[in-house]
Amino acid sequence: MNPNAASAKTSVFNIAVLVAALGYFVDIYDLLMFSIIRVESLKDLGLTPDGVKDQGLFIINVQMLGLLIGGILWGVLADKKGRLSVLFASIILYSLGNIANGFVQNVPQYALVRFISGIGLAGELGAGITLVSELLPKDRRGVGTALVAGIGLSGAVVAFFVKETFHWRTCYFIGGGLGFLLLFLRIKVAESGMFNQVKESGVSKGNFLMFFNNGKRFRKYILAILIGLPTWFVIGILVSFSREFAAKMNVQGEVDPGKAIMYAYAAISLGDIAVGLVSQVLRSRKKALYIFYGITIIAMIWFFNLQGASTQELYWACALLGFGTGFWAIFVTMAAEQFGTNLRGTAATTVPNMVRGSLNLISLLFTGLQVKHGYVGSGVITAIVIMVITLIAAFFTEETFGKDLNYVEV
């Protein structure tokens, strides 16, 4: 084989990494678009300020339920039919869903279409991370997946600037159009060689129940989910509802939640690249996680002590929250590295979507506490509970840096 060709295949800048990164870019653009235009779109549909807050949380939870269901669906298909099949099918579904979002006229329609879009959005990251993890050599996996997440997460920044330029309905149409453009790029991407080997074997593939019929596998699977909990608490509650937190903390000026999300995701993008490099330098996924958990805790303390602060300080607090939760790339990579080739796509796709879906339970805790502890106090308690659970889970999670992935689960 030509050495240059081999080097191109194993480079972190190969076509699979590029396409996975661009796919995740569109995924994040579409996933965060509702949070960015929540206030504008719901006001346009005739909702009161209280309705914007309550129905906004309802629609986000419905979208996350779609992600939870879609995560299982696409994960199973990724191991049964292939990583590329899922990348193609999921992007078609969420692109159509986002185009449909541009035509909604009321909250039930909005929620239904976000649910369908959520199902489609669930397949992009897991299948992309699995494909990149299996195509790259083990000493470059962390950097490759960090690039996918880092480039991809910048989609939220672009979404904010699109929102600043276009009507909210047009923003959805643009997202759908970007998705269909990606389909042409995907044609040149090759399927994972590891998957092709397993495809021809008689081993059980994409059996979701295998995570629950073996004690060791079940433990690994649950821990893989719990170590990612802070990510969607930060984005789904603190940043998405920064406008409401700001009002309760007497932040001076009008807070734009779309701008808060832009700041957070610009920092998440940087954090994802940084955590991959830190992991490589330390030769450890877990040590990198602990460092970024520490940053997240510091950012939470800052966020909850913004009484009387300026809107700009709140945006910078959101940025630090984002940078701290930039461990998303390593967290999903660890999920892929925990399991054999016949379950890897299922794990890497379901785990991040279980975390996204956990926002429903986190929201219940957050809203349930508000009766006694108020809006900000409930946020503080919820943050403490989540970080304690996450730190314990990380302690018991196995180190996966440099792990050989060419094996199957039996």
**Which pLDDT tens digit goes with each residue over 94-106?**
899 999 999 999 9
Centre a 10 Å sphere on the Cβ of residue 127 and count the other Cβ atoms it contains: 31
Distance CA 382, CA 9 (A): 44
Confidence (pLDDT) at 258: 85
Residue 196 lies in a domain: no
Residue 171 maps to a domain: yes
Enumerate the β-bridge partners of residue 207: none
What pLDDT was estimated at residue 194? 63
**Quick check: is 152 in a domain?**
yes
Name 252's bridge partners.
Answer: 310
Nearest to 131 by CA among 409, 410, 407, 405: 405
First to last CA, the chain: 34
At residue 5, the pLDDT reads: 41
Cβ atoms of 282 and 402 closer than 8 Å: no
- Rounded CA-CA distance 237/325 in Å is 13
* Residue 98 in domain: yes
Euclidean distance between CA atoms 20 and 88, whole angstroms:
11
Residue that has been written with the tokens 């009484």 in this structure: 307
Distance of alpha carbon 68 from alpha carbon 65, whole angstroms: 5
Structural domain contains residue 404 = no
Tokens 């946020």, located at residue: 379
Q: What is the CATH number of the domain that holds 220?
A: 1.20.1250.20
Range of the domain at 342: 3-186+206-396
Residue 130 within a domain: yes
pLDDT under 50: residue ranges of the chain = 1-8
In a domain, 195, yes or no: no
DSSP string, 239-294: ITTHHHHHHHTT-BS---HHHHHHHHHHHHHHHHHHHHHHHHHHT-HHHHHHHHHH
Q: What is the pTM of this model?
A: 0.81
Residue 263 CB neighbour total at 10 angstroms? 25
What is the per-residue pLDDT for 31? 84
Asked if residue 199 is part of any domain, the answer here is no
- CA dist 90 and 286 (Å) reads 31
- Structural domains of the chain, count: 1
